[in-house]
Amino acid sequence: MSTTLLAPGFADPAHDAQRLFRSVLDAFSHPGRIVELHDAPAGPGTLSPAATAFLLTFADRETPLWLEAGVDKQEVRDFLRFHAGTPLVQAREAATFAVIIAGGGEPFAGFAIGSDTYPDRAATLVIEVPALDGGRATIWRGPGIDGEVRLAIDGLGDGFWSAWAANHALFPCGVDLVFASETRLIALPRSIAVEA
């Protein structure tokens, strides 16, 4: 791996990670809120700045990462190994984090969902979407939402929201989601019910 070919990471790793951590925490505390990640690094390949910022903030040597084929490029692998130190895994069930592209079938299948004793051992999936608006209208309800929030995330497959309903039904187990597009993201914890 030649470091001269790597995309740059954070300009100021400690402070940038702290600021982005607070932004992502805000997104998870208020599901459905669109959060702008200011100064998110461009990242390598097709990885959006929002997904790049999320991974540089949360992924480390203790958090195995799975990449879908459309994202699993050498420049992405080298970037994440160098800047985050995260181990890359071939099996979905071994992943703490995953990056997938919206529109594929069975997006949650095979990922760790935790257990009643250890629900925190579930995976968090970063889903790359074309836009955070312009898609099928949905209504979100649950913890962190005052009443309800209406969203229309673009690029999700026909069966996506029925798969989410099945995931939500597993609560306190189940995967958590982050929708990423350009420099913005939305968090969808497993506790949130979505009416589509």
Question: Domain spans of the chain?
Answer: 3-195
Q: Give the C-alpha separation, 28 to 13, whole Å.
A: 22
* CB-facing half-sphere around the CA of 27: CA atoms within 13 A: 23
Instruction: Write out the two tokens for 172.
Output: 């306190």
CB atoms within 10 A of CB 139: 15
Instruction: Write out the two tokens for 156.
Output: 């999700």
Q: Give the pLDDT mean for 111-119.
A: 95
Range scoring the smallest mean pLDDT among 4-8, 15-19, 83-87, 131-135: 4-8
With a cut of 50, say whether residue 3 has pLDDT above it: no
Q: Give the pLDDT mean for 13-32.
A: 85
Among the residues of 30-179, which ranges form H helices?
Answer: 49-58, 74-83, 160-168
If we measure between CA atoms, which residue out of 133, 65, 74 comes closest to residue 100?
65
> Band of the pLDDT at 2, cuts 50, 70, 90?
very low
Cα torsion at 121, 35, 47, 87 (round to 10°)? -30
Q: Give the pLDDT mean for 146-167.
A: 95
Q: What is the pLDDT of residue 43?
A: 81
Question: Which H helix or E strand runs over 126?
Answer: strand 124-128
Q: Which residues contact 147 (CB under 8 A, 6 or more apart)?
A: 141
Q: What is the pLDDT of residue 97?
A: 98
Q: What is the mean pLDDT of the chain?
A: 91
Residue 172, preceding peptide bond in cis (omega within 30° of 0): yes
65-67 and 35-36 beta bridge pairing: unpaired
With a cut of 50, say whether residue 189 has pLDDT above it: yes
The CATH homologous superfamily to which domain 3-195 belongs is Bacterial phosphonate metabolism protein PhnH (3.40.50.11310)
Read off the pLDDT of residues 51-87 as tens digits, 9 standing for 90 and up. Answer: 999 999 999 999 999 999 999 999 999 999 998 899 9
> Band of the pLDDT at 106, cuts 50, 70, 90?
confident
Burial of 2-13, coded b for 16+ CB within 10 Å and e otherwise, reads eeeeebebbeee
Q: What is the pLDDT of residue 11?
A: 63
If we measure between CA atoms, which residue out of 105, 51, 46 comes closest to residue 71?
46
Q: What is the pLDDT of residue 4?
A: 45
Contact (Cβ atoms closer than 8 angstroms) between residue 112 and residue 95: yes
> Band of the pLDDT at 179, cuts 50, 70, 90?
very high
Q: Give the pLDDT mean for 32-48.
A: 90
Q: What is the pLDDT of residue 19?
A: 80
- In percent, the amount of the chain with pLDDT more than 70 equals 91
Q: What is the pLDDT of residue 8?
A: 53
* CB-facing half-sphere around the CA of 177: CA atoms within 13 A: 28
